[in-house]
Each structure stands twice: as structure tokens, then as C-alpha cells.
Copies of this chain bind each other. A is one copy, B any other.
Amino acid sequence: MAKRRADGLSKEVIVQAAAAILDDGGEAALTFRALTARLSTGYGAIYHHVANKSDLLAAATDAVIARVMADAVVEDEPREALRTVSLGLFDAIDAHPWVGAQLSREPWRPALLEVYERIGGLLVALDVPEQALFDAAGALVNYVLGVAGQNAANARLLATDRSAFLGDVAAQWAALDPERYPFVHRAATQLREHDDREQFLAGVDIFLAGIATLH
């Protein structure tokens, strides 16, 4: 009765539409009703290509990560390459916050294979000894995904007015009793000015410095 799609549906078309909805309105906006409306189709058509909502989210996440890894330029210097790959993941998750949430829910996605391979290979190039290699790779990947996810959640929370929100938190921190909370009290100033991306990179550098001591 209603206008029907001329072209056939495919999992890829559905996944791209889902990603667009997620980017526009966040996780809450992705409903099968919104998806059928956007694709001018019915529920069954979608379920014919996708097992369920969880499968859809997973596929959309894989697509984003796969693109990041494909786009990441290869550099010679392993330390610099590690920073570049890390930043690429950080920025992608910042741009698509739902990816961060999804990865912290389902950490064993095929897309992460590429991430492990790249980062592991670069650690090998850094001469990390065999017995520490897998711990180092696991820790670094976890750091990158964990911090990027946290940052993305943050960014979403602060989307409306970042500086006002951080200003509030900083004011609360500054108002704390300096006897009881000396560190947080001092940190209040830094909080207002700090750059998430720079702090992320600083963390990567600390990590790489720690890895360098493993020889």
C-alpha cells in the first residue's frame, strides 16, 4: 500500500542507515520504527537481513572500526605509528560515541582483530620481549578503547555546553575541603583547562615509556 522501496534491501544498506541514525540522535534514537521509516520498509524486511538489534549495533560498530584501520596511514617509526593509530581510534569513537559504548559491551568483535594486529605488530617492532608482548598489547588496546569510550560518554554528556558543565564540576571540586581532598582541590583548575585529546595522548606516551622499560 505505502510506497515500497524500488531497490532491494541489504545488510550493508541497513547498517549504514542505522549508523546515520545513531550519529544523528544517539543510541536512544535507533529504534526499528525509526529504521523502517528511514528505509521505507517494514520490520520483517529488516529482520530478514539482521538477526536483532544487538546484531545491528555490532555490525555498525565493526564498520566504523574497519574504516579507521583501513584509513590509518602506515608510518615507519613504530612509536609515532602507535600514537597515530591510537589517536585515529580516539577520534573515531569521539565522532561516533555509540561505538565506544558498544565496544565496552562486546569487546570481542572481529573488527578488533585488525586493531590487535596493528598494535601488536608495532610493539614487536619496538622490540618488546616475547613474554611481555601480549600483556603490553592487551593493556594498550584496553587503554585506548577504554579512555576513548569514557571520553565519548563525556562528550555526549557535555554536548550542549561543555565549558559550563566542566566549570560546574571544577567549581564543586574547588569548593571541597582542601584538608580532606588536597589533590582534587588542586586539580580543579586543571580540569577547566584540560584538553581530552592531549590528556589521552599523554596517557599513551606514559604507556609507551613504561613499555620501553620492559627490555
Interface residues of A (CB under 8 A from B): 100-101, 103-108, 113, 116-117, 120-121, 124, 132, 134-139, 142-143, 145-147, 149-150, 153-154, 157, 169, 173, 176, 181-184, 187, 190-191, 194, 198-200, 202-203, 205-214
CB distance from A178 to the nearest CB of B (A): 11
Minimum CB–CB distance from A125 to chain B (whole Å) comes to 10
Given contacts A121-B182, A139-B207, 12 further A-B contacts (CB under 8 A): A101-B105, A104-B150, A105-B153, A134-B190, A134-B199, A135-B206, A143-B146, A143-B203, A145-B146, A205-B210, A209-B210, A213-B213
**Contacts A106-B157, A209-B210 hold; do A202 and B139 have CB atoms under 8 A apart?**
yes
Q: Please, which residues of chain B bring their CB within 8 A of the CB of A135? A: 198-199, 202-203, 206
Q: Give the complex CA separation of A124 and B184 in angstroms.
A: 12
**A138-B199, A183-B124 known; A150 and B157 CB under 8 Å?**
no
Min distance, Cβ A211 to any Cβ of chain B, angstroms: 6
Q: Are A113 and B184 closer than 8 Å at their CB atoms?
A: yes
Residues of chain B within 8 A (CB-CB) of A209 are: 209-210, 213-214
The answer to whether B142 touches A147 (Cβ under 8 A) is: yes
